[in-house]
Amino acid sequence: MHLPRTPSFRLDGRRALVTGAGRGIGLALAAALAENGAAVTLVARTLVEVMAGAEAIRAAGGQAEAGRLDVSDLPAVARFFEERPAFHVLVNNAGTNRPKAMQEVTIEDYDAVLDVNLRSSFFVAQGAAKKMIAEGVRGALVHIGSQMGHVGGPRRSLYCASKWGMIGMSKAFALDLAPFGIRSNVISPTFIETPMTKPFFDDPQFLASVLAKIKLGRLGAVEDLMGAVVYLASDAAGLVTGTELLIDGGWTAD
């Protein structure tokens, strides 16, 4: 009897780009892709951080290089893709947040959050996809969204707007890019404990409010996202496009 074989989760021979890869979620996702065979390019505004990340990946036996890229500088984004061969995988991770009540949000706050989380994500994805199409590369776009793309939250109007927008953007990408064999999906985490978010959780009241909504009763860790990015980047997700993996511990289940 012939048994079907599980499609490979391995990424050998593929090139992956991770934005905002200097620390936290971005660095973890880059490490996950490299651990599974991809040659990973880590980029961020701060070169020293991604250089350290790439060095750590190489020390662990992976393939990695680092580069400086400010995703809000759209001419620099265009040059970045023009100067390199196509990537097989893009992890659109760079993002920002300015938690404020909606009545306190300024025009500058709005521009800062929406420009990075939505505008820059759009044009980074466009740059990657155009190069894939030009070189006949079938690949995967993976955008890092949030559970806040499904629910509202106090002091999160800008962040929610950007992440709700990202989910719709990715679905439309999937339709435009399907004829070229390019898939587009979103990973949407709950609150993940990283060096950047840890100070928020030092507030017992805030921590309690978050844990009350995460049905599994704990904060997320970067490791909780690593399998998801490997899956969506790999042949195991060959028929998966225009959708989303919610990794939220049950936050949005009720």
Tell me the C-alpha distance between 72 and 78, whole Å.
Answer: 11
159 is known as an active-site residue: yes
Question: Tokens 């909606």 identify what position?
Answer: 102
User: How far is Cα 35 from Cα 38, in angstroms, rounded to an integer?
Assistant: 7
Which candidate in 81, 87, 159, 164 is catalytic?
159
Give the C-alpha separation, 128 to 207, whole Å.
38
Contact of 225 with 247, CB cutoff 8 Å: yes
The Cα-based distances of 74 to 3, 49, 81, 193, 241 in angstroms read: 49, 21, 11, 30, 26
* Straight-line distance from the first to the last Cα atom of the chain, in angstroms, rounded to the nearest whole number: 44
Nearest to 176 by CA among 141, 135, 214: 141
Which tokens is 176 given?
């435009």
Q: For residues 254 and 243, what is the distance between their CA atoms, to the nearest angstrom?
A: 20
Catalytic residues: 159
